[in-house]
Amino acid sequence: MDATAPTDPTTSRAARILGRPFDINGLTLRNRIAMAPMTREFSPDGVPGADVAEYYARRAAGGVGLIVTEGTYVDHASAGSSHRVPHFHGEAALAGWQRVAEAVHAAGGKIVPQLWHVGATRDAGQGPIPSAPPAGPSGLGLDGEAKGHAMTGADVDAVIKAFADSAAAAERIGFDGVELHGAHGYLIDQFLWGVTNRRTDGYGGDLASRTRFATEIVEAVRAAVSPTFPVIFRLSQWKANAFDAKLATSPAELESLLAPLAAAGVDAFHASTRRYWLPEFDDTDLNLAGWVKKLTGRATLSVGSVGLDKEFVGPQGFTTETASTGIDLLLDRMERDEFDAVAVGRALIADAEWANKALTDRLGEAAPYDAGLLRRLA
């Protein structure tokens, strides 16, 4: 069966729905299944090695249409908090990432790096540059208490340039697009959220003003790459310490957040929720990705506990084990085009063949996620 163009009416429902090709700004993906970004800390000194290339290539060979890499640090002293999370700058790291892209392409997949700055979630003294202080829009942590320093205008300009430089590098070394991490309480999201952004200059104030930093990053990235190089923006309402947080409490507020980003050049939005089946607002059952698509007309990817029976993180902490589940609810939503593609996380860590198993009605054979076995299963 050719999962890229399932026209035979006897093919499975999953193949007919998930196996359709999908286009983002001219980039054609063979199906509607993406690999979600998942931090693993398997890149000592920030350099991805042959094992990282093999890890992603196995998922591409297993049928994934688009791979979004784990978060990668842009070139700013305060961007990261671990010596083992990969960088997306510097000769050694970029050479390693070029080999990753080549391996994924050889396996038939497409790949984009997720570009990341952790902002004030970083604790003082953490690597890769321990001397750098945590930095955020207002010198506040996610709890609203003082942490690190408030970014100056020069800091803002430096971070915007760092994102643009990494995006240009991604195109230069053969990646298929980029994703900007604007979710989960990290730096871009800290500017978007009123709890962490108390600025009184042009980067703070109402929601539209708080969007300025993200918008300027998108504009700089768009200017640094070719017009047909896809730019994806990941957003979420929830934060790492606040699962009920809301950037937008209504569709109107969400539109005020999204419109400047779409106008600046975002080609697709990756809407992160912890459970994809939950409605975002009260008046319809659309999830966050569904609302983003409705409000912007841009392509959207949904994510959140796909194929598993427990969310990744919640009030009780991180989930270490889950059981595999079916995807009928997902197919129902995709059949009515609520969103365009689905990103799969832990299920793809557990089983590199998850995509092919989904497309051929073999999810009953899919391995369950077990964090204790992550190294063996990677």
Catalytic residue of the set 55, 56, 73, 186: 186
- 73 catalytic? Reply is no
* CB-facing half-sphere around the CA of 236: CA atoms within 13 A: 23
Q: Beta strands 178-184 and 231-239: pairing type?
A: parallel
Residues forming a β-bridge with 231:
178
Please say whether the beta carbons of 19 and 330 come within 8 A.
Answer: no
Q: What is the DSSP string of 288-316?
A: HHHHHHHHH--EEEEESSTTBSS-SEETT
Could you give the maximum distance between any two Cα atoms of the chain, in Å? 61
Q: What is the DSSP string of 48-91?
A: --HHHHHHHHHHHHTT-SEEEEEEEE-S-TTS-S-TTSPBS-SH
Cα 85 to Cα 70: distance, rounded to the nearest angstrom: 8
Q: What is the DSSP string of 199-261?
A: --STTSSSHHHHTHHHHHHHHHHHHHS-TTS-EEEEEEEEETTBTT--S-SSHHHHHHHHHHH
Cα 366 to Cα 71: distance, rounded to the nearest angstrom: 26
Cα 134 to Cα 76: distance, rounded to the nearest angstrom: 11
Cα 293 to Cα 269: distance, rounded to the nearest angstrom: 8
Please say whether the beta carbons of 177 and 277 come within 8 A.
Answer: no
Question: Both tokens of residue 11?
Answer: 């093919």
Helix (H) or strand (E) holding 112: strand 110-116
What are residue 184's phi and psi, to 5 degrees? 65, 15
Cα 321 to Cα 365: distance, rounded to the nearest angstrom: 17
Q: Cite the active site residues.
A: 186
